[in-house]
Structure formats: C-alpha cells, structure tokens
Amino acid sequence: MPSKDFPLKCESTRDHWWFASPIDWVAANGHYELVRELLLLDGNHLIKFTSLRRIRRLETIWDDEEQFHDVANCCSQIAKQLLGECESKNGKNSLVRGGYGGWLLYTVASARDLECVRELLQRDPLIVLGVG
C-alpha cells in the first residue's frame, strides 16, 4: 500500500510549472472509486490520466524515490478495473475501442503484469501499435 501522504511534485519545464493532477494522485494511491468519480465529474480527466507524455513525466519524478515504489502497481490495478468495467456483453470493450488500448498495455506492462499484457495482446494484437 502506498504512502498516505502522496505529495504533489513540481517540475520546471522551461518557463512553465507542471504538476500532478488530482486524478494522477488518486490513481497512484490506488483509489479506484475516486478515479471513477473524477471521470464521471469531468471526462477530460481521462485524457490527462491516459496521456503517455504525462505518465512518463510522472515516472521520472516518482520512480527515483523509494516511497513511490508501488505507483505502477496501483495504476495497473486501476487500469484493469476500468477495463473490466468497460467490458460489454458481446466481448467488445469501449475503453479499447475508444483508443485507450495503448495506454492500457503501457500501464500494465510498467507494473510487470505479464498475464494482463498477454491477455490484451491476444484480444487485439494491434494494440501494441497503439491502435485501440
């Protein structure tokens, strides 16, 4: 379980200050219900949450510190729960069909969840190209 006091970190990128958004914070701490509520409140949070550019930036900040060692696992759990929730009765997944397959693959792979990686690739081999 990650630290309860997960600070917002800042990074200077030229003249702009960049920071972790609330959805980054709650996902990194594994709070699925809060992630879900934020997505219901504003769909734009999904764009922030799934941006590979933002994820890589967060990884460079959080990967260096021991207290954040569980972030990848927490985000992977959130991604798998969202994947399960978006599953339809006919086997189609609105999250994958909506173009978020590449994000799903990256997120579970960064947590070293090979079983889920295999499942995603068997479901749709083109997902490796970022094609949902």
Domain boundaries, the chain: 10-129
**Amino acid (1-letter code) at residue 68:** F
* d(C-alpha 55, C-alpha 123), whole Å: 24
* d(C-alpha 65, C-alpha 50), whole Å: 22
Predicted confidence band at 106 (pLDDT cuts at 50, 70, 90)?
Answer: very high
Give long-range contacts, CB 8 A cutoff, 24+ apart: 6-9: 6/68, 9/61, 9/62
Contact 83, 104 (CB under 8 A): yes
Which 3 state secondary structure label does DSSP give 17?
A: strand
Predicted confidence band at 64 (pLDDT cuts at 50, 70, 90)?
Answer: low
The count of other CB atoms within 10 Å of the CB of residue 80 is 19
Among residues of the chain, what percentage have pLDDT more than 70? 80
Select the more confidently predicted residue: 105 or 129. 105
Contact 34, 26 (CB under 8 A): yes
Radius of gyration of the chain (CA): 15
The count of other CB atoms within 10 Å of the CB of residue 122 is 9
Task: Give the tokens for residue 87.
Answer: 């599953």
Q: What is the largest CA-CA distance in the chain?
A: 49
Q: Read off the pTM.
A: 0.78
